[in-house]
Structure 1
């Protein structure tokens, strides 16, 4: 940590940068595509306008000390950010909460990520746009040292009720993906499906390792109990959940901090580009407003057959899927 943090409740630097993402007001757009892989973020950032009309410069790229990459510019003239967050609920939590404190007005967030499919009809190379997601979490009160049984997965893991995507953004995303898919593509697009987000890549997604995870029957249990389930990954549920509960009711809403940050005096050490940061928002404290969320999952693994996508297929797949996400956000009206 190179900078002094203010306010242990919601840490910021003196010039208003949030703790994990390393960004501040003026460096993030209200329309965001979030991905896990930094190389995917850079690939999508290459589709942004080469020159941002407001600044006359190219997109801003900020790599934080904690591994988050933010790329902000315009796409077809509309302010747009692409943020690489890594994997898991915790990183999605850092991302949503800290981004919310860096912009005012409504937000639209689309997660573009890889997934595993548990449906034979959604093979490798398919694109799934889930209408909802459930969480699969390990039950830490379960005694994992007991001998496994055919039913032990039911007690070893908890399946949440579903959290839904924003209906309007979900619909627009589906249309945008259909338009972006290349003619002659063999990829199918499924949108009336449910995703499951696990708190582990291994145990809570039914992968068998040398650990006694009691998960041999977990995938079959999901297929039996979660209607329309299609995919497994690690982030979408938490995005949908946080979006669905924000803003809080007025009686319970809290601002993250009462400290109004002064204007920055220099760019942060982690800035990749030479573009200087924008001025902070005048109020310093953003007002809560609605978060619209949707997701697009690229099927990289077919859990039934064991098939896995090839590197050459990934490049072409994420290109048109990435453009579909950006086009959907351009077509989604926000109050900002």
Structure 2
């Protein structure tokens, strides 16, 4: 069955479920770990407290949310898939389901552009975006003055959260581990796994010298992936200006918001005016596991991935738990899925 949606500008169901994540207020916490794959989300969620039982919701659009408590602190783990569009869905829709501040850490994988081995963990202080320029003539590049790729200026993550994530990773790293942790570096987020990351395929991508160009022009560049720049960008933009909220009844439409959960949903009746207030903040950071070395062409083993996901995932939970959010800047506990019974 398709639920009734309200407002084509920002679609919600009558009980305030958002369009892609399928969440409503009280089902996502102020502290969030976001990952790409559902299996990584499930692994991290295994560290959550048994009580209250973690709430799990799978949206029709492929987003998985698991919300519970970690050592008493409300935390959500959300898998979003790949790329900046999915990061956009996640940040915007989660923000509209929350009152108070947001602390978001992405735990993902990346390729490394410098001489660091696979298994290295990178906590980027800043990110640039690398975007394929659709105005470039890839069929006849000799007669085109446009660059094939556009590189943005850097956007920085939250410095306090950055330091806390780095500290937590250093403390969680196994004592017998040779994994390095790099934090004073910059990441590049590409809009493709292939063309704008300099990989050579059968398509005419004009990217033979892209990696070297990035290294030459972006100071402290170390890694390439596809999501973190957009997370940092949206966090940096948040709260700069307010948007007046209408009091008029929104138009109605139908649409595919039919999330799957075996758990009891949140029972909050939160006024929209209390959600996503512009006087709140979004703090963002990231930790990236180096799966591929672009210099040596080494690739991480499945055994290494499993081990790294375990200790890095717990470290991110520890880092988020340590971030202080004043009680008045938390989403209300009453009626939420993390409410203590």
Could you state the TM-score of these two structures normalised by the residue count of structure 2?
Answer: 0.89
- Asked whether the 8 Å contact 1:26–1:280 carries over to 2, the reply is no
Q: Could you give the per-residue CA deviations for residues 163-215 of structure 1, whole angstroms, max 9, x where no partner exists? A: 10100000111101101111111100000000000000100000000000000
Distance 1:212 1:276 in 2: 49
Q: Do structure 1's residue 124 and structure 2's residue 113 form an aligned pair? A: no
Where do 4+ consecutive residues of structure 1 move more than 2 Å? 253-260, 268-278, 280-285
Query: Mind listing any 5+ residue stretches in structure 1 that lack a counterpart?
Result: 53-57, 261-267
| Structure 1 equivalent of residue 24 of structure 2 | 24
2:75 is paired with a residue of what secondary structure? strand
List aligned pairs for 1:245-284, cutoff 5 A. 245-250=237-242, 253-255=243-245, 270-282=259-271
Correspondences of 1:173-212 after superposition (within 5 Å): 173-212=165-204
Report if the CA contact (8 A) 2:245-2:273 is conserved.
Answer: no
Judge conservation of contact 2:3–2:258 (CA < 8 Å) in 1: no
Report the equivalent of 1:170.
162
Residue 115 of structure 1 and its aligned partner are, at CA, apart by 0.3
SS in 1 for 2:6: coil
Q: Which runs of 5+ in 2 are unaligned?
A: 251-256, 330-341
Q: How do 1:223-302 residues align onto structure 2 when only pairs under 5 Å count?
A: 223-250=215-242, 253-255=243-245, 270-282=259-271, 285-286=274-275, 287-288=277-278, 289-302=280-293
TM-score by length of 1: 0.91
Say if 1:148 and 1:68 are closer, same or farther in 2 by CA, change over 3 A: farther
Query: How far has the Cα of 1:154 moved from its partner?
Result: 8.1
Contact 1:4 1:13 in 2 (8 A): yes
- Partners of 2:208 and 2:8 in 1: CA distance: 42
Partner of 1:264: none
Query: Which of 85, 92, 95 is residue 97 of structure 1 equivalent to?
Result: 92
Alpha-carbon distance between aligned partners in 1 of 2:239 and 2:6, rounded to the nearest angstrom: 24
- State the match for 2:336 in structure 1: none
Per-residue CA distance 1:262-291 (angstroms, 9 max, x = gap) = xxxxxx853333333232325564123110
SS in 1 for 2:57: strand
**Residue in 1 that maps onto 2:309:** 318
- Looking at structure 2, the residues matched to 27 and 135 of structure 1 have their Cα atoms a distance apart, in angstroms, of 31
Distance 1:223 1:201 in 2: 18
Cα deviation digits, residues 201-237 of structure 1 (max 9, x gap): 1000000000000001000001100000000000000
Q: Secondary structure at the match of 1:230?
A: strand
Shift of 1:334: 1.8
**Against the structure 1 CA distance between its residues 282 and 143, is the aligned structure 2 distance closer, same or farther, given a 3 Å change threshold?**
closer
- Partner of 1:25, secondary structure, is coil
The alignment status of 1:143 with 2:143, answered yes or no, reads no
What is the DSSP-based 3-state SS (H/G/I as helix, E as strand, rest coil) of the residue aligned with 1:211? coil
**Are 1:83 and 2:56 an aligned pair?**
no
Residues in 2 aligned to 1:9 and 1:50: alpha-carbon distance in whole angstroms: 38
Q: Alpha carbons of 1:117 and 1:51: their partners in 2 closer, same or farther (altered >3 Å)?
A: same
Maintained 8 Å contact 1:125/1:300 = yes
1:9 aligned residue: 9
> In the superposition, relative to structure 1, how do residues 161 and 96 fare at CA in structure 2: closer, same or farther (>3 Å)?
same
Distance 1:195 1:11 in 2: 33
How many residues were matched structurally?
Answer: 319
Provide the C-alpha distance between the structure 1 equivalents of 2:157 and 2:226, rounded to a whole number of angstroms. 16
Match of residue 335 from structure 2: none
